[in-house]
A and B are shown apart, each in its own frame.
Chain A
Amino acid sequence: MDVALQLAVEQLHARYAHALDADRLEEWPEFFTEKGRYRIATAENEARGLPLPVLYAEGRAMLLDRIASLRHANIYEPQRYRHMASSFLLERVNDRVVQSTSNFLVVRIMQDGATMLFASGRYLDRIALPEMKYEERVVVCDSRRFDTLLAIPL
């Protein structure tokens, strides 16, 4: 086991979650490589072999657009997330890429205090080495159901 790699991946996942939960959305695209892909899918569509994403961005420009739209165009009630990510399994693909699989829970807190378990699922990641950025992050939600709207990325 490569302990240094394990710690580096843990830091990446932790920084990602803290950036979203602390409303530092502008940092979000920086966790991805220039051509990095981000996709939110549902377990049901994945199991059926259906390609529909709930949200899909290909490349940092699209990730930036998502945040710009959230900041300047989309209207949604103020809300925060709290991510709980599990420990993860690592698999070295080659010198350039490592795969990580972890579980997550996302709790959503509305401005009036209403708190709900908003999403659960798995992160399926391909992480580019040595830059330690997501080449791909697929968020497979356990449920096909989303409450009201999904504005902030998971």
Chain B
Amino acid sequence: MKKTILLCAVAGIILVMCRTDAHAYKERKDYFSKPQIGGWFGPVTPFAEVAKRVETNLGGGLFVRFTLPYRFLKIGVDSSYQQFKSKCVNELQFIPVYGNLLFQIPVDFPVRFQFKGGAGAGYLNLKPDRLTQWDPIFMAGFEVSFPAGRIVNIGLRIDYIYIYEGYMKGSRHGGHILNTGIQLYFNI
């Protein structure tokens, strides 16, 4: 077991030391480290219990991001509009607003991989009951993006959002929603 950990650590150090052109890397990185603003759209899919009542639809959202002093970390705010309809009467409108921390894999690749996690609140509007409220939400996600020049980035994202209702009396389950989409964002 110890041997495996040691091997992994050594491999990790070698990987970091193998950065070929530190200067060029920094220059490319600088554009990506600027504040970013962008939007995405794609299928929004409920699953588990909620999926029994409402169906997949197209959704979309906006986000802003700022790089932290440690340049592989960013902090961002995301919001989106997601409306889940059904063939029957049920309809769920969901507007999540959350802050998230993004970690970019520190490997020099033209393609950037970012993991993210965050929390916030989501506005829910349930029909036909016509009940509305804000619920706490948690999210985790993964992004791949390609720079298209100094300003534009094109990417793909996949986010999992958990709507937490467990603290409420009578709750039997929360909500699980998967957002996937293509995104376009700008280094400003």
On whether the two chains bind one another, the answer is no
Taking beta carbons and an 8 Å cutoff, which residues of A are in contact with B? none
Query: B residues near A, CB below 8 A?
Result: none
